[in-house]
Structure 1
Amino acid sequence: MATKLRLQRRGRKNYPFYQIIVADSRAPRDGKYIERIGSYNPNTHPATITLDFERALYWLQTGAQPSDTVRNILSDEGVLMKKHLLGGVAKGAFDEAEAEKRFEAWKNNKLQATQSLKSKDAEKQRAEEKARLDAEKEVNKTRSEALAKKKAEEEAANAPVVEAAEATETVVEDVSETEVKAETPEAPVAESTVAEAPVAEEKAEDKKESAE
């Protein structure tokens, strides 16, 4: 039976998620499979890959043929490199210790490259966030200046109206006070009091004389 290493689609619409499977080459894409050896999520950067390294190497050594995408995944994960080194050991080019040493060196270089890529992505994201924040600050500053200018124009436009209203109120108050003063008569001197004063004095003198 010819076997094939390929992807089986999962996930939802516009967000695909794939399983890495071993299946009969005649089986439909989403049909039955022999074994699932990993997963592949292309929605992250870099893509998230989980892989059973030993089982993938086993199926390659038994003749399973990977699809183009799975071949790239196996290459990135080092499965093809390991298979190549084991082939050199089988031919007597070097021993297993040397093969393991070469594989570890390749793995370290791959890890450094991945870390460098992640660092660049993080720096790029920070730069984009900073640029977006600066743009928002500039927009807010422009809005604040426009609002301050509009408020100043409104205050300048309303100032003459307020001054005219205050002047009118002052004139009205002055006129009211003048009218009140004009309408209020002066209090007349009580004539009875003035007339009674000499009479009271005469009565007092009469009493004094009779007493003597």
Structure 2
Amino acid sequence: MAVKIRLQRHGKKGRPFYHVVVADSRSPRDGKFIERIGSYNPNTNPATIDLNFDKALDWLDKGAQPTDTTRAILSYKGVLYKKHLLGGVKKGAFDEAAADAKFEEWLKAKEAKIQGKEENLAQTKAEVKKAALAAEAKRKAAVAAAVAAKNTPPVEETPEAEEATEGATAEAPVVAEENAASDAPAAEATETAAGEVTEAAADEEKKAEE
């Protein structure tokens, strides 16, 4: 019987999650399975993987073949690397203590990498939230300014300004009349002087004729 380590789909449309199962390769994807050894939730970032490490390693030793996705999951959790190290122990390349030391070193590096990714994601999320809050505050300020401008009444002239305008208008004819009155005697004097000059010229002409 060919045995597969594969994913069994659960969840609702658009938000699936999966069980990691060991099943007969001839069974339907979501049909009967031999054993459930973990779960995989791709809806989180990073994805949440819960895996029974020892059972997954045992089934690999028994010859179970993982699908492409479950192979990636087993590699991510270190099951394939552990299997590789145990193969080296069987071949005599190194002892079991050295294999365990190598695996512990790999685990520490993996955890540090995961931790760094989570911190970067958290920082990015905080920056996005901060930018969104700043944009929202700017939008609210613009709306408030628009509302204030709409509700502000137009500027009206004060009574003092109106009185000053009326006073200036009333004074204009008075000044014009005064100027006209002051110009009248000058005009009369000019007319008198012109008459006298005309009479003097006439007398001179009369004397010349005599």
Whole-Å Cα distance in 2 between the matches of residues 17 and 150 of structure 1?
A: 53
For 2:120, the equivalent position in structure 1 comes to 120
For 1:52, the equivalent position in structure 2 comes to 52
For 1:8, the equivalent position in structure 2 comes to 8
For 1:61, the equivalent position in structure 2 comes to 61
Whole-Å Cα distance in 2 between the matches of residues 17 and 90 of structure 1?
A: 37
What do residues 145-191 of structure 1 show as CA deviations (whole Å, max 9, x unaligned)?
11121222xx116x57xx8xxxxxxxxxxxxxxxxxxxxxxxxxxxx
Whole-Å Cα distance in 2 between the matches of residues 136 and 17 of structure 1?
A: 35
Secondary structure in structure 2 of the residue aligned to 1:156: coil
Whole-Å Cα distance in 1 between the matches of residues 149 and 52 of structure 2?
A: 66
What do residues 102-128 of structure 1 show as CA deviations (whole Å, max 9, x unaligned)?
000000000000000000000000000
Query: Aligned residue pairs: how many?
Result: 159
For 1:84, the equivalent position in structure 2 comes to 84
Q: Which amino acid aligns with 2:65?
A: Q
Secondary structure in structure 1 of the residue aligned to 2:16: strand
For 2:27, the equivalent position in structure 1 comes to 27
Q: Which amino acid aligns with 1:7?
A: L
For 1:74, the equivalent position in structure 2 comes to 74
For 2:206, the equivalent position in structure 1 comes to none
Q: Which amino acid aligns with 1:156?
A: P
Secondary structure in structure 2 of the residue aligned to 1:31: coil
Secondary structure in structure 2 of the residue aligned to 1:44: coil
Alignment of 1:180-195 (within 5 A): none
Whole-Å Cα distance in 2 between the matches of residues 98 and 54 of structure 1?
A: 19
Q: Which moved more, 1:14-23 or 1:139-148?
A: 139-148
For 1:206, the equivalent position in structure 2 comes to none
Whole-Å Cα distance in 2 between the matches of residues 54 and 148 of structure 1?
A: 69
TM-score using structure 2 length: 0.74
TM-score using structure 1 length: 0.73
For 1:137, the equivalent position in structure 2 comes to 137
For 2:171, the equivalent position in structure 1 comes to none
What do residues 129-148 of structure 1 show as CA deviations (whole Å, max 9, x unaligned)?
00000000100111111112
Q: Which moved more, 1:58-67 or 1:140-149?
A: 140-149
Secondary structure in structure 1 of the residue aligned to 2:37: strand
For 2:154, the equivalent position in structure 1 comes to 156
Shift of 1:72: 0.2
Whole-Å Cα distance in 2 between the matches of residues 140 and 25 of structure 1?
A: 60
Shift of 1:13: 1.1
Whole-Å Cα distance in 1 between the matches of residues 145 and 58 of structure 2?
A: 69
Unpaired stretches in structure 2, ≥5 consecutive residues: 160-210
Q: Percent identity, please.
A: 54
Question: Which portions of structure 1, spanning 4 or more consecutive aligned residues, are displaced by more than 6 angstroms?
Answer: none
For 2:100, the equivalent position in structure 1 comes to 100
Unpaired stretches in structure 1, ≥5 consecutive residues: 164-212
Whole-Å Cα distance in 2 between the matches of residues 40 and 112 of structure 1?
A: 21
Secondary structure in structure 2 of the residue aligned to 1:27: coil
Secondary structure in structure 1 of the residue aligned to 2:40: strand
Secondary structure in structure 2 of the residue aligned to 1:37: strand
